[in-house]
Structure 1
């Protein structure tokens, strides 16, 4: 059983969870999720760098 928050962030996390589950049987979804997470990580690193300037 999975539980996610409500609101915009919860909806986004629910979508990530759904894609992660479906990615077990779909290489394209699996790769898309990995790419999305890498892009998010890079955006966070950039925001952190901007804050530290």
Structure 2
């Protein structure tokens, strides 16, 4: 659920990735990014831009 909320924030807000990580209960942006990539298959910064992994 945290990652789903984080994905929503990435797409719908201008919050930084660090702000999103902390707002959704992750202890760091690194931890958040690793989990996000594991679940969604792309980095948060790429998701924000609407990109996918090659």
* Same fold, judged at TM 0.5 (above): no
TM-score relative to the length of structure 2: 0.29
Instruction: State which structure, 1 or 2, has the greater radius of gyration over its C-alpha atoms.
Output: 1
Q: Which has the higher helix share?
A: 1
TM-score relative to the length of structure 1: 0.29
The structure, 1 or 2, with the larger RCO (C-alpha pairs under 8 Å, 6+ apart) is 2
